[in-house]
Structure 1
């Protein structure tokens, strides 16, 4: 009752509307030029609402336009088939390409590294996000990517992502911006670190888990030939599970 003796209506909790996870991609770029393998990490700017100050791999949301970008070589048949697995009714080759290409685009935007190969003819990509590739005559190369892990943000979060993780060697970088970061400036303090040092950084737990999986893949398949297992992490029956396919 309020001060006037009138009944106060009971506020019912609003039902939680399920949020469909957005496609995202992340790239673990590996430098094999020295004695120890080194992985590229960058610190998220403190202005970010999502994981400020944490060290992560380059990556971000997939945009539908990514799937229409030309490439000098496509994903291996095995990697494409593994990406198609679990896509359900929204499964398509273009969506596979979009996810893989977004890993390359985000690596450029956040780290200033262009994965691909120079093309003898004029490169024609009209989308502005790929202008740096056009200016340098580089087409992205999907064949160097190895799909190896997938993680889905648990339900109930305000932001959810269905992130696919790829491995590639630093050898696949065709050009590098002179700046110490990418044009988006989302990552700072970019560094190449041995795996054990990367694990000592301030990193999210899922990042630590993905690093461990990457180490295992590289130990079993040091040349990153197509055909490795793909590890999926997701909530199932109220708990976080690891699945292999």
Structure 2
């Protein structure tokens, strides 16, 4: 049996510890549901002082984001307030209960009105049964009505030119799709790499001889090979840690 050095033991312990720790963290993160917002992740909670309100909060693109959604069923209206640090505060609303709109080749669709900071942002028809199912007041298909182009100059902060789009407002008013952080697929990919590193650290000479036994009789590694192998044992655990963190923070 090959005698293992302190470095080999440290590598084996660190690899095993990361595999167990990130398995637990990924499991925990998967139980904490949230929603995607601007390539970020917001947690979901309820307002203690208003049972009709739902709050989505988190840090996205370097700023604290809070989106408060309040249902007003008596007014057939849902209010959506988007706050991004001190940079953005959009007070939005989605009104329903309006007369249906006759959409081209589709028939009657829901009539909605979306406002932002007191100004009309969109009024027309909408159906979730079709991709980009937005229609103007005459029933003409208007697929890009839910989007809003944002142009940023070089070096400008992500949020400086941000405006909440009609699609985002409607998505939060209707209840966005829930998701969770953490990718099991990426985790198991990192686990595979961890296993390969553990084998290399546990049986360095055996793996070297197995690799070259068909080419050379009684192969022996050079001093340079051994030095590079030890350097890899110091570097690869750091790369694995970065990979595990990426897997933990990944969104579907």
TM-score, length-normalised on structure 2?
0.19
Higher relative contact order (CA 8 A, sep 6+): 1
Higher helix share: 2
Q: Which has the larger radius of gyration?
A: 2
TM-score by length of 1: 0.19
